Amino acid sequence: MLLAPSILASDFTDLKSEIRKIEEGGADLIHMDIMDGHFVPNISYGPDIVRQISEITDMPFDVHLMIENPERYIEKFITKNTEYICVHVETSVHLNRLIDQIKSTGAKAGVAINPSTPAAMLDEVLQDVDMVLVMAVNPGFGGQKFLDLSYNKIKALDEKRKHMDLGFKIAVDGGVTLDNAEKLAASGSDIFVMGTYIFKAEDVRAHTEHVKKQLVKYKQC
């Protein structure tokens, strides 16, 4: 049960300190929301920031590319920390080729799906991916309300994973809190992306530690 705080919700004027807090709290991954203002209606940050962050931490990165033409930028987001590169099924006509491109860099390949995209859209690539990221909100902005339709999508992916005897992880992003994390774990989620819920806490380090302990408890149940 992996906790992946999204630094999009952090204080960028004190980013080094913010990252240190989630490190000390036991977070597993840093989730990077890369937005281009075209695929989603917002702009975040780019490969230079990702590279600079790799110089101040050893935590692995989960790089979520919410951008058009992701094939042009894959290599730019590879750092010593980059564990996952995740692209959207909605952005690529040649998804198998894009997955191969990601893997050729040494990173693990993830594919994300928006709320209105059925899980069946991934049937032909499930045997090739390392992670499926289920968007539980329409991507572009933090702090949105979780969409309940996400539970059935996660369950469907988990059932396919078991039926096909595959090892990809299921991540969930958008409106994830401890209020819904137990049900998400029971549905089949492995990676929990939390932004506002982590970084807007009064004590980020202590809250990260508490959330991680609860996720471990849900796994044991």
Which residues are tagged catalytic? Answer: 33, 173
Three-state DSSP at 161 gives helix
State pLDDT tens for residues 81-124.
999 999 999 998 899 999 999 999 999 999 999 999 999 999 99
State pLDDT tens for residues 136-173.
998 767 667 899 999 999 999 999 999 999 999 999 99
State pLDDT tens for residues 12-69.
999 999 999 999 999 999 999 999 999 998 999 999 999 999 999 999 999 999 999 9
Say if pTM beats, i.e. exceeds, 0.85.
yes
- For helices 15-25 and 204-220, angle between their N-to-C axes, nearest 10 degrees: 30
Parallel/antiparallel/unpaired status of strands 2-5 and 191-194:
parallel
> Angle CA(66)–CA(127)–CA(101) in degrees, nearest 5?
50
What pLDDT does residue 144 have?
74
- For helices 178-187 and 150-164, angle between their N-to-C axes, nearest 10 degrees: 30
Sequence-ordered strand ranges (E) for 54-201: 61-66, 82-88, 108-113, 131-135, 169-173, 191-194
